[in-house]
Amino acid sequence: MVFLQVEMSWNVLISPTQLSPKGLLLRKAIIVRLLEDIANRKASKDHGYYIAVNELKAISEGKVRELTGDVLFPVTFTCITQKPMKGEILVGSVDKILKHGVFLKSGPIESIFLSEKTMNDYKYIGGENPMFMNAHSKLEKDTAVRFKVMGFRWMEADRQFQLLATLAGDYLGPL
C-alpha cells in the first residue's frame, strides 16, 4: 500500500474560552483541534484517507468571527494519506467469506470485494469456517492476500471508498 505525505492547509476554529495569554496553551489547543478535525473528517474523495498529521508547518494569524467570537486560525501541515488507485497491487487480509466472493480489508480501507468470478479455480466450501480453496492454497478468515485493484468508488454517506478487487494476474493470491 503506497501512502502519501501531502502538504495541506486547514482552518482551525478555536472558541474564545480556549484563548490563553500563554502562547503554548493556545498552540496546544490548536493542535488538539486539528487532530480532532482530521479524525472526524476521516477521508475525502480527493485526498483519500487522512491517517495522521505528521508535521505542523505554520499557524497563521487568527481572524475573529464577529458573531460568535470564535477565532479562525489558518494552519499548514503535512498529513499522511492513503488513496486507492486503479491497477495498484495491494496486500490485505480476509474479513468475511461469502458464497459469491470475499470481503477483504487493507489498512484504512474496510470494504474491498473480491468476486468469486475473478477467482479462477477457487471453489467455495461452506460450513462453520467457510473458505475458498484450489489445488494448492486456500483463503479463510485473516489469510493475507495479494490482489489487484480493478476499480473503486467514493461513498459520500459513509465517507469511505469501496474497492473491487481481482486475483486474475500472475503472482496474485494468498501469501
Q: Which of 13, 19, 56, 89 binds another protein (CB under 8 A)?
A: 89
Size, binding site for another protein by CB under 8 A: 45
Q: Is 33 in the site for another protein (CB under 8 A)?
A: no
The set of residues, in sequence order, having a beta carbon less than 8 Å from that of 149 and lying 6+ positions away, is: 84, 85, 86, 87, 88, 89, 90, 163, 164, 165
Query: Can you read off the three cell numbers belonging to residue 8?
Result: 495541506
For 83, how many CA atoms within 13 A lie in the half-sphere containing its CB?
11
Tell me the closest approach of the beta carbon of residue 108 to another protein, in angstroms: 4
Three-state SS string over 30-57 comes to: HHHHHHHHHHHHCEECCCEEEEEEEEEE
Give the binding range for another protein (CB under 8 A) out of 10-18, 67-75, 76-84, 133-141: 76-84
Q: Is 156 in the site for another protein (CB under 8 A)?
A: no
Q: Is 169 in the site for another protein (CB under 8 A)?
A: yes
Residues that bind another protein (CB under 8 A): 1-7, 38-39, 42-43, 46-47, 49-52, 54, 80-83, 85-89, 91, 93, 105-108, 110, 144, 146, 149-153, 164, 169-171
